[in-house]
Chains A and B, each alone.
Chain A
């Protein structure tokens, strides 16, 4: 099966600029996650969608980060304005819908963001 797609793969911007990332999950996967992975750390969940509704955005810096998942398929994550500490790999993952219990999360290749 086709995997999770993300674009762009790399992005370099200056602080205070804005940037957007795109994710296309595996077909049929209702749950979509955006993670931030800072170098040398584990992925940290930013936001989780179930279909096109937000399930958890408790760790999303809402003053600068926003995300949407229109029609319950593709998703975009935006940062505006970017800060130096936003430099990281942004990973998108998807899984089958489960209200309780767990299914494997499939990760995309990530977008490496460098903020100068």
Chain B
């Protein structure tokens, strides 16, 4: 199955700085890469995703970049704010078997605890 490695495990920044979280995946056929944000005691929520036909996607202060050759994708948060403090998870789909389906199954990374200091 897919192996997803996420780094760093913790990240501390000052308000206004940028934060970058990186994930690597093992299956070169993977084609969908979402990022979820989980605030303390709350449910994970999708913040941005990218499909393999593009190299970058932006949504206001957040962006995701994808390097298919190197099999890694990264989350970039600019002008960080204290409310960005949370755990961030990347995910990737498993390897398709020939003729098989995944019905949207995802393998999640281990998570990055982001702390933004005022």
Contacts A40-B111, A41-B111, A42-B111; is A102 near B104 (CB within 8 Å)?
yes
Contact of B57 with A by CB under 8 A: no
Contact of B43 with A by CB under 8 A: yes
A43 x B44 contact (CB < 8 A): yes
B101 x A99 contact (CB < 8 A): yes
Query: Interface residue count for B (Cβ, 8 Å)?
Result: 24
Q: How large is the interface on A (under 10, 10 to 19, 20 to 34, 35 or more residues)?
A: 20 to 34
Secondary structure of the A contact surface, majority rule:
loop
Contact of B61 with A by CB under 8 A: no
B83-118 interface with A by 8 A CB criterion:
89, 91, 93, 96, 101-111
What are 15 inter-chain pairs, A to B, with CB distance below 8 A?
A: A31-B103, A42-B6, A42-B111, A48-B105, A55-B101, A91-B44, A97-B103, A100-B96, A100-B102, A102-B32, A102-B34, A103-B104, A104-B46, A107-B44, A108-B43
Show the binding face of B for A, using Cβ within 8 Å.
6, 32, 34, 42-46, 49, 89, 91, 93, 96, 101-111
